[in-house]
A and B are shown apart, each in its own frame.
Chain A
Amino acid sequence: MTSFQSTIGDEEGIAEELAEGQREISIAEFFEKNKHMLGFDSGARGLVTAVKEAVDNALDATEEAGVLPDIYIEIEEVGDYYRLVIEDNGPGITKEQLPKVFGKLLYGSRFHAREQSRGQQGIGISAAVLYSQLTSGQPAKITSRPKGQSRAQYFELIIDTDTNEPEIKADEETTWDRPHGTRIELEMEANMRARNQLHDYVKHTAVVNPHARLELREPGLDEPLKFERATDELPAETKEIRPHPHGVELGALIKMLEATESYSVSGFLQGEFTRVGKKTADSVIDNFRDVYYGRELAWSPPRAHDDRDVANAVADAVANKGAEATTAFAEGVAETVSNSDRLSRSELATIVDNIAETVEGDTGKTFGGTVRENAVDAAWRAITGAGGEDDDGADDDEDGATESPLVADAYALVDDATSTRKDDAAVRAMAEALARRFENLDGDAFRATLDDLERLVADAASFVAEQHDATFGETARENVVEAFWSRARTVPDDPPKVKSIAGSRDAAADLLEAMRTTDILAPPTDCLAPITEELVEAGLRKEYDADFYAAATRDAEVHGGDPFIVEAGIAYGGEIPAEGSVELLRFANRVPLVYQRGACATTDVIKNIGWRNYGLDQPGGSGLPNGPAVISIHVASTNVPFTSESKDALANVPEIEDEIELAVREAARELKSFLNKRRSMQQRREKQDVLGRILPEMADKVSEVTGRSRPDIDGALARIMNNVSVEREVTDETVTLVVENHSDVNEQLEITDIVSSEPTDLSDGTVVDMDGEWFVQWKPEVPSGDERELTYAIDGDADFEVSVGGVETEKLTVNA
C-alpha cells in the first residue's frame, strides 16, 4: 500500500515527507493542549482544581481504610508562587506505589472498577503535579507514612514528560507526627481570584461528607476555616460489581469474550456479569439462538383422514424391522404428531427419537440413526411436503395441481392476523406466496431469523400487490410476521462456544443484542454509598443555620448498566440570605461540583420545576427560584456521566434527570407544608395581635356606652382564634381547669400544673412530688368543639403554674 501511495502523481516520497512530521506526542504537550479539559485552564482555577483533586484522593483513601477523614489544606504565598499543602490521615501509600500514583498520568485503581468512588480516571492528582512542575519548575514534595510504620517516607518527584514516568529527585526516610497518612506539597503559578469557589468547594465538601473534619488556611483568612464532623459514621463500604449485561458495549464485550476463561456462553455470562444466574443465562442464550440461528417455523400436522398419511410415510421409510415393530413405530410417531398442535422439524426429530427408544424397548429391534433420519424426513415430507426427493418434483409448480400443505396453514395464520375486511382471494394469494417463499428457504427445517421473516413477508406482500392488486399495509405485515414468529420454535442447537463468538464480530453483536433484549434485574446497589437522608440533612444543618431542613434519598435506578442513586436536600430560612436566587449545591459521588453550573443537568432540572407550587418565588414561573433556600443534589453512581473530563457538570441523561426531579420534589413537598404551616401560623399570629388589640378596645367602648362594667372577652377571643383555651376556676378548695377546644380538629393535650401545696382528689391524671412542689399532669383528648374539666382539691392557699403542651402556642389561650 505504501509503495502504491507513494507513487501517486509525480511527486515522490510524500509519505516519507509526512512521516518526518509524525512523532509521539509528549504527555506535557498533551496536557498543555488539554489543560482546560482537566480543570487547569487558569491560575485561579488551577489552584482550586489541585485542592479538589488532592482532597478527593484523601477522602477516598481514608474511607477505604475505614478511617474518619481529617484533612488539612494550606495555601501560602511564596514569592511569585503559591504553595499548596494537603495532609490526610489516610492509610498512606507504600514506597513502591507512591511515585507512580503521583508521578504518572492515567495510573490508578479506579478506572476499571465498577464501584462508587470520587476519582475515576487516574488523571487528577498527577495532573496537579504536572501543572505545578510546568509552572514553577519545582518538584512535588510528598510524605507518606503507611499505617504501622514507625517512620515516614519523603519523596521529591517530577514527571518525565517524554516517558510519562516519575523521576525521583529525593527519596529519604523522615519523621512525621501523624501516625499514618499522606502529605503533598505543590508549588505553582496561581492566584486567589477564585477564592469564593475554593471556599464553596471546601464548605460543600463538608456538607456532603458530614463524617469528615476539614481545615482550610489561606492568605486571605485571619482564622483558619474549620469544618467539624457531624457524625462518626463512615459511609457504607462499597463493593465492586461486575458489569451489568445492559451496560456493556460491543468492543468491551469482545474484549471480555477474549479474556474469559469460560468455555460456554452460559458460563461466560454467569461468570463475568452481575445479576446473571443460570435462568437468566438461559434466557439470554435462547434470545441469542433466535438472533443467531433464527427460529424454525412450525406447521400443523395432518388431522385424521387427511390424505397426508404420516404413518404410511414413516412405515415406508423403515425397512427390515419387521411388521410389528415398523407398525408400532409408524403409528406411535403418527399419533404423537397428530396430538400436537404445531410442529417444527426439530420437535419432530425429538418425537421420532422418543418413539424409537420406546419401540426399541418393547420389541428389541434397533432403530439406528439413519433409520430415524429417514423416518423424520418422510414424516416431515408428509406434514409439510418439503424436503427429500420432492424438492425437484413437478408438484411444486406454482400452478401445479397439488397444493403445498403449507398453504392451508399459512392461510389460517394470515387470515387470523389481518383485518376481517381483507379480500379472501388476497389472503389466499398471500398465503400461497408465503408458502412458496418458505419452501425456498435453505434446508427443509424452515429456519429464519426475525429479519429474514420480515423481509420474506414484505417480499410476498409486494408480490401480491403486483399480481393481485391487494395491499398488505405495514400493520398487516407486522401482524403476519408476529403470527409466524410467535408460532416458530427456538432451535435446540447448542450456541457457539465463547471462542468462536469472540472471533466473529457478527456473532458477538448477536449476543449483545440478545443480552439487551433479555429482562435482567437491575444491578445491585451495594456498590453505591448514598449519604442517606439523615446525613444529607445533618450536613446541611451543620453548615447552614436555617429554620427548616428536608432531605430525600431515592431508590437505586440504572442508566446504561450503571446503578445510581439520587439524593436531594433543602434548607430554608434562618441565616440563609433571602436576596437573589437560591443556592444550588451539586455533588457527584460526594464531590462538590463548583464550575459550569449552567451546563449541569441538575440546574436544568431545578429550573424546570414550578417552584411557586412549593412556596418559593420564581420570577416568570421557570428558572432558578428566589429566596432564602439551599438546594443540594447528590448523584452517586459507579459511573457518573459528566459533560467533560474536568468533571464540572452532569450530562443530561434522562434517567438521572427524572430521578433528580423526583428527589427534589420529594424534599420540596416537605418544604411546602412547612411554609404553608408557617404562613398560616404567621397569619394566625397577626390576626391574634390585631384582634388582641381591637376587641378589648371594643369591649371598653361598649361598656362605656352602656354604662356597664367591662365584660370578660377571653371566651370570645379563644372562639374567634379557633383556639384551645385553658381557664382556671378556684372555688373554696377545688381547683378546676376548664379546657375548651374551639378548633376544628381533635386536640391531644399535655397539661402540667405545678402547685405549691399538695393536691388531692385528682380527676384522673398523675401527681409527682418534687421537693415541696407538686406536678399534676393530665393528657386529655378534647374533641373539636368540646370541653373537659380537670379538677383537684387543695388545702388552703396555693400558687399555681400551668403549662400546656401538644398544641402550638399560637393556638393556645391560657388564662390560669
Chain B
Amino acid sequence: MTTESDARDELIDLAADFYDQFADGEIPEMTLPTRTKSNIEYDTESGVWTYGDRTSTRSANSVRGARKLLKAAYTIEFLAEQLDEDRSSTLRELYYLSESWDNDEAQFSSQDESNDLVEDLEIVTGVTREDFHMRPEESGATLMGPLLIREQTRRGEREIHCQEDVGAGGYQIPNNPDMIEFLDDDIDFALAVETGGMRDRLVENGFDEEYNCLVIHLKGQPARATRRITKRVHDELDVPIAVFADGDPWSYRIYGSVAYGSIKSAHLSKYLATPEAQFVGIQPEDIVEYDLPSDPLSDSDVNALESELEDPRFQTDYWEEQIELQLDIGKKSEQQSLASRGLDFVTDTYLPERLDAMGVL
C-alpha cells in the first residue's frame, strides 16, 4: 500500500513527464491500457481478470486529447493540494469543484468524465483513488453477522460487533475499508446479497445467527469498498463467499464484478476481486426446478445475456450452460419470487439446499 506522500510524488512525477515532453518539443501524451472488454485477460496467478497488453494514448495531438490532458494537469494540482492538506473529497465534489477553476477548458462536462479521469490517473500512477483521498458518492456495504471489528474514524477508534452492537440495519462500512481491522469472529461463511428486501428477510428470519453467517448487503452493483471488504473477509478470515442475487443478466454482472473484477477497474482486480466467490442463485436452473414465478426476458435482457456469452469473464462451462438455458426458457426471476413458497422457504429450504450442494454448508 502506498503512503500519502508516495501518492503525491507519483502525481507530481506525471506532471513532470508532461513538462519534459513540452521542453523536448514533443507532443505531451499519456499511455493507458485500453479499457474495453476485448482487452481484459485472465491472470492465472491471481485468478482474476486484468488489462491486457493493448494500450491507448491520450495525446495533445487533437483538440479532444489536449483538453483531456489540460484537465489532467488541473486535477493533478487539485489532488496534490488535497493530499498536502490531508483532506478528502468525493468524486462528485471534484466534478463540481472544477467549475471553480479559472479555466473554462479545464472544467468537466459530466461526472463520467471526471470519474474516468481519476481512474486514468489511478492507472498511470499506480495509486488507488482512496489514496488520493477521493471517495465515491454511494455508500458501501452493510454487514450483519458474528464479527468484531475496530474502525479508525476521524473521531478516534471504535470497536463494534456486527451483530450485537448494531441495529437491524447492520454495520455500515467506511469508504476506505482498509481503515478497519478484524478482531474476532464466529463466521462459517459470508453471504453477499443483492437486494435490501432479501437481506432484511434473512436478518428477520435469523439466518445469520442460525448459520453463523456474515450477511453482506451489496446494494445492487457493489461499490469498490464493498468488493474490497468482501475480499478481505475471504482472505483474512478464510471463509467461503457466496453471492445471492436475482436471476437476470444484470445480477450475473454483479456476481462477475465481485468474483472477477469489473472492466473499468480491472487495474485494481488483484485488490478488489474475490475469484473464489460462488454464485448461489437465482440460477436459471432454479427457475425451472422450483417453478418460480417469472417475467419474460426483454430485448435488452437477451442482448445482455448474449454479450455475457462473449465476455471472457463468463466463459466457463457453468455460466455458458446457465446462460444458454436462460435464453432457451426466456424467463427471469427475482430473489423475492421465492416468497411464492412462503416467507420461510428461502431460509428453511432454498439456501440450505443450495449451500449444501455448493459445499459451503
Contacts and interface: CB of A to CB of B under 8 A. Distances in A.
Interface of A: 686-687, 690-691, 693-695, 697-699, 701-706, 708, 711-716, 719-720
Contacts of A701: 15, 70, 73-74, 77
B70 A690 contact: no
A714 B26 CA distance: 10
Contacts of B60: 691, 694-695, 698, 716, 720
B28 interface: yes
Interface in B54-69: 60-63, 66-67, 69
Contacts of A715: 24-26
Contact of B73 (A687, A690, A705, A716): A705
Contacts of A712: 22-23, 25
Contacts of A702: 15-16, 18-19, 22, 73
A708 to B, nearest CB: 6
A703 B69 CA distance: 14
A711 B17 CA distance: 12
20 contacts: A690-B105, A691-B66, A695-B22, A697-B70, A697-B103, A698-B70, A699-B22, A701-B70, A702-B19, A702-B73, A705-B15, A705-B77, A706-B16, A711-B22, A712-B25, A716-B26, A716-B27, A720-B27, A720-B60, A720-B61
B106 interface: yes
B73 A698 contact: yes
Given A701-B73, A716-B60, A720-B61, A711 B67 contact: no
B77 A690 contact: no
A715 B28 CA distance: 11
B120 to A, nearest CB: 15
Interface string B66-89: 110110011011001000000000
A699 B23 CA distance: 9
A712 B25 CA distance: 8
Interface string B1-28: 0000000000110011011011111111
A711 B28 CA distance: 12
Given A693-B105, A698-B73, A716-B60, A705 B12 contact: yes
Query: Chain B's interface: helix, strand, loop or mixed, by majority?
Result: helix
A690 B77 CA distance: 22
Contacts of B61: 720
B343 to A, nearest CB: 59
B22 A716 contact: yes
Contacts of B63: 686-687, 690-691, 694
Interface residues of B, number: 30
A208 B60 CA distance: 51
A693 B66 CA distance: 10
B25 to A, nearest CB: 3
4 closest Cβ contacts across the A-B interface? A715-B25, A701-B73, A711-B22, A705-B15
B12 A719 contact: no
Nearest to B106: A697
A701 B79 CA distance: 13
B69 A698 contact: yes
Interface string B151-182: 00000000000000000000000000000000
B103 to A, nearest CB: 6
B63 to A, nearest CB: 5
Contacts of A716: 21-22, 25-28, 60
Contacts of A714: 25
B216 to A, nearest CB: 40
A711 B16 CA distance: 11
B27 A711 contact: no
B70 A703 contact: no
- Give the most central of B11, B25, B74: most A CB within 10 Å: B25
Contacts of B74: 701
Contacts of A711: 19, 22-23
Nearest to B22: A711
Nearest to B64: A690
Interface in B100-148: 103, 105-106
Interface in B198-213: none
Given A690-B63, A705-B15, A719 B70 contact: no
Contacts of A695: 22, 28, 60, 66, 70
A325 to B, nearest CB: 104
Nearest to B26: A716
A695 B76 CA distance: 16
Given A687-B63, A691-B63, 4 more contacts: A701-B15, A702-B22, A702-B73, A711-B19
B109 to A, nearest CB: 15
B249 to A, nearest CB: 41
A75 B74 CA distance: 72
B268 to A, nearest CB: 25
Contact of A690 (B11, B12, B66, B106): B66
Nearest to B25: A715
A702 B66 CA distance: 13
Contacts of B18: 698, 702
A716 B19 CA distance: 11
Given A705-B73, A711-B23, A716-B22, A694 B28 contact: no
Contacts of B62: 687
Contacts of B27: 716, 719-720
A296 B27 CA distance: 87
Given A702-B73, A719-B27, A694 B105 contact: yes
A581 B21 CA distance: 50
Contact of A698 (B23, B25, B28): B28
B21 to A, nearest CB: 7
B26 A697 contact: no
A305 to B, nearest CB: 88
Contacts of A704: 77
B215 to A, nearest CB: 46
Contacts of A697: 70, 103, 105-106
Nearest to B61: A720
Nearest to B20: A711
Contacts of B15: 701-702, 705-706
A5 B71 CA distance: 105
A204 B34 CA distance: 61
A348 to B, nearest CB: 88
